[in-house]
A and B are shown apart, each in its own frame.
Chain A
Amino acid sequence: MSNEIELIKDPGLPAHVHRRTDTDPKAAARAERQVAILFILSALGTLLLIGSYLFVPEDIFFFIPVMGNTNAHQLGLGLGMAIALFCIGAGLIHWAKTLMPDEEVVAQRHEFRSEDEDREDFVKTVKDGAAAAGLGRRPLIKRTLGAALGLSAISPVLLLGDLGPLPGNQLKMTSWKKGTRLVTDPGDRPLRPSDLEVGAVAQTLPEIAPGEHRSLNDIAKDAVLLIRLRPEEFNLDAERLSWTHEGIIAFSKICSHMGCAVALYEQTTKHLLCPCHQSTFDVTRAAKVIFGPAARPLPQLAITVDTEGYLVAQAPFNEPVGPSFWERSA
């Protein structure tokens, strides 16, 4: 009894099993018919597409369960295309499966590795070529070539220099200044405190001169949310309290996390929710973050009323609005 463990052996490729279409000519004819039907269906699909494109008006809608009121033109084009393509594919595959030869073929793999002799020849060729180039013997050429190539790599990077201006102070400044009126967005109507009831919110922007146009860049920094609470509901220090007016508090609407618009105010809990990543801010505590990934509260805009009774900013924001950046507090 040998101590060698005998492994189970490979029985080799199983015997070929013939398909019905190989042995039965009627089955083969049927398969051929099936392939033909699929190709004809495809042609019908194309006709549906052409017909829809040329003849079906674009304003007809009809009801289909699950899909609702569907546009006939659109559906005709799409289903026509889908049927046309799918049936060609199905026909080709059915043809291959039933009628083309399905005997398995065996091919040999060859080792990828080159012969040792070839490898040596390759190395020799490279070495000879390098020697012919003479870089090893001519360090001056090597060094100056390196310097030239290295320096030339700087040019493409430099040429992209005007892709953008330097940020300068732009990330730290908004359009809000002392005395800027808060106007409704949209509508551009200035607001008085009496225009807001307790529990009300207003989307606001800084007032612009007549004829001036607000750009999206401005809105991306200037959007402010006004919320009115009862003054006794605030839990603020004296300074922040002085930035409110009769229970009205103003925050930057640009989330301090990643810049989405934060205007989802829950009247019952006095929380602001950002829908992007669910950061939650407590309005009574100057938009302190109480849940979610935001790391900083929303900047608060100090507001008061001007001589005509309209709400205005007391001063610009005391910190940059929007997402953080390296030099934010520098």
Chain B
Amino acid sequence: MTARERIAGNVAGYVDDRTGAAKWMKKNLTKVFPDHWSFLLGEICLYSFVILLLSGTFLTFWFDPSMREVIYEGSYEPLQGLEMSAAYASTLDISFEVRGGLLMRQIHHWAALIFMVGIVVHLMRVYFTGAFRKPREFNWIIGVGLLTLGIVEGFLGYSLPDDLLSGTGIRIAEAIIQALPVVGSYLAFFAFGGAFPGVAFIPRIYTVHVLLLPGIFLALITVHLMLVWYQKHTQFPGPGRTEKNVVGYPLMPVYMAKAGGFFFIVFGVTAFLGAVASINPIWLYGPYTPGQVSAGSQPDWYMGWLDGLVRMAPPLETVTFGYTISWNILIPGLILPGIMFTALALYPFIESWATGDKREHHLLDRPRNAPTRTAIGAMALTFTLVSLINGGNDIIATTFDLTINQMMWFSRIAIIVLPPLAYVITKRLCLSLQRADRDLVLHGRETGRLVRMPNGEFTEIHEPISPEKAWLLTSHEQLAPLELPEYDGAGVRRPAAIKNKIRNRISRSMATAVPKATETERKELEGHH
């Protein structure tokens, strides 16, 4: 035994004596993780979160979250002598007086954008492969929670410097709070400590941004990861992969190296963006004052779709008995997003109700094999994309020589017409891909080589696919639609008749599929040739 081994053994023994760690360490170090690039998307979020914690802590050492008015005396000439809040002035100091300050500000902001992009692409992967099914519904809900909180955290974060652009965003947020029926003006005054803008808002959101929400994030992310760890990660279907096993690489050393390496990659790419691309140049925006605004004012991208919805809203406001309800703010700002996020969170339960499938699933679906789910996802993405585009309608208009009026009308119509169109097109695409899979299994791969038969007929040579590929294309389940009874044995209509009828119809839609190729059919075809 070498000296190093002896010391290591002593340390390990010391810890194990007090915690019994050897047993579970051994078990976990050999834990198997399946390897697919799309399983790394969630890691992008996780590592971005770590980067945010590190860079954010750096920033807190210099940032002054106070709206107290100061005169700027730093080195940025175009703002010298101007009145501004201490929050804005301290952000200018971080950018221009602290070495590495501007780099850290930019890394922090780029990391926030990447965090949200990661969440969205990770959500898309989980959704389109059906990884949210039992036993992972709870993890899905945590994920939706992280998405929602991420949007809020990002908004609060870029509002801290109290610059003209983010201050305009806070004004809009205050208008949403104020628009709430009955309690709006009270809640707004409570949030802002009085009238807008007041002096309390920045310090208060600072507490939320650096303490409350990061704490909640840490807790949620920990539970999220623990569940993945304990329930084991899902895997794509393929040869040798079943619902009862996990095929992949052990944590030590392969997964540790790859996942650990990926952390450095994410950090490196974020640092690269922070180095070469300017983001949130607050010195150009100027300090916030309610009498100023810039053309082309937008929130960060993850709120852009909300802004787009608000822009395209019809000017609806009702006054009954002297009491005002601003539907033009409440519908796009609160009601629609509320419905969307609730539907998103409840989707696993909605789908299992619709299909009647209550079993555990550890093998992922290829999106084409779940056409209705994929089509619904395409519909939701189209809706979000149209509203996101409308959020930038003025900049798009000047860039592409269009008018904001055209963009607005396009968006109003597109948001109603395009999503159902996307549903239909996607579902048909999935079914034709299923058909293509079936043809591939039954007839083999088209090689493109033509052969002339002795009787003069031309045929194309088809190469049979490998058994592994055949298995991949046919291993999925095709659920039969539900047939819940409307009448019981004695012919009496059940109380749940209507619900059952609806459920039957929905499950029939969910079960639309091209029947997968079977061995029997293959043998029959072989008999023909």
Contacts and interface: CB of A to CB of B under 8 A. Distances in A.
Direct A–B touching in the complex (beta carbon < 8 Å)?
Answer: yes
Interface of A: 5-14, 53, 58, 67, 73-75, 77-79, 81-93, 95-97, 100-102, 104-109, 111-112, 160, 163-167, 170-171, 185, 203, 205, 216-217, 219-221, 223, 253-254, 257-261, 263-264, 275-279, 289, 291-296, 322-330
Nearest to A67: B276
B261 A107 contact: no
B394 A258 contact: no
Nearest to B292: A261
A263 B293 CA distance: 9
A261 B271 CA distance: 36
B263 interface: yes
B268 A85 contact: yes
Nearest to B291: A223
Contacts of A91: 261
A278 B394 contact: yes
Nearest to A111: B360
B362 interface: yes
Given A277-B310, A329-B323, A96 B261 contact: yes
B291 A12 contact: no
B322 A75 contact: no
B408 A220 contact: no
Given A260-B172, A276-B172, 16 more contacts: A5-B520, A6-B520, A79-B275, A82-B272, A85-B271, A89-B262, A89-B263, A89-B265, A95-B257, A96-B257, A107-B32, A293-B328, A323-B329, A324-B329, A326-B180, A330-B322
A67 B196 CA distance: 39
19 contacts: A6-B520, A77-B275, A78-B274, A90-B264, A100-B253, A104-B247, A106-B32, A107-B32, A108-B245, A163-B191, A166-B189, A216-B288, A219-B290, A220-B195, A258-B175, A293-B312, A293-B328, A325-B179, A327-B323
Given A165-B189, A278-B393, A293-B310, A74 B315 contact: no
Given A7-B474, A106-B246, A323-B175, A77 B265 contact: no
B261 A53 contact: no
Contact of B194 (A84, A217, A294): A217
Nearest to B261: A92
B193 A96 contact: no
A116 to B, nearest CB: 17
Given A106-B245, A106-B246, A171-B195, A75 B289 contact: no
A261 B471 contact: no
A216 B100 contact: no
B103 A81 contact: yes
A164 B190 contact: yes
B176 A258 contact: yes
Interface residues of B, number: 114
B186 A166 contact: yes
Contacts of A277: 307, 310-311
A275 B293 contact: yes
Contacts of B275: 74-75, 77-79, 81-82
B301 interface: no
Contacts of A294: 315, 328
Contact of A167 (B179, B185, B297, B325): B185
Contacts of A9: 467, 471, 519
Given A6-B518, A11-B467, A93 B32 contact: no
Which 10 A-B residue pairings sit nearest by Cβ, starting from the closest? A78-B275, A86-B268, A89-B264, A92-B261, A13-B240, A295-B317, A85-B268, A89-B265, A220-B290, A258-B175
A295 B393 CA distance: 20
Interface of B: 31-32, 99-100, 102-103, 106, 135, 168, 171-172, 174-176, 178-186, 188-198, 200, 231-232, 239-240, 242-250, 253-254, 257-258, 260-269, 271-272, 274-276, 288-297, 307, 310-317, 319, 322-326, 328-329, 360, 362, 393-394, 404-405, 408, 441, 467-468, 470-471, 474-475, 517-520, 522-523
Contacts of A13: 239-240, 247
Contacts of A258: 171-172, 175-176, 310, 329
B471 A96 contact: no
Contacts of A88: 261, 264, 268
Nearest to A216: B197
A73 B290 CA distance: 36
A81 B107 CA distance: 11
A223 to B, nearest CB: 4
Nearest to A213: B69
A142 B99 CA distance: 62
A260 B272 contact: no
B517 A8 contact: yes
A164 B191 CA distance: 7
B361 to A, nearest CB: 11
Nearest to A84: B268
B474 A93 contact: no
Contacts of B296: 275
Contacts of A14: 239-240, 468
A165 B193 CA distance: 7
Contacts of B245: 106-109
Contacts of B314: 293
Contacts of B135: 112
A278 B258 contact: no
A221 B290 CA distance: 8
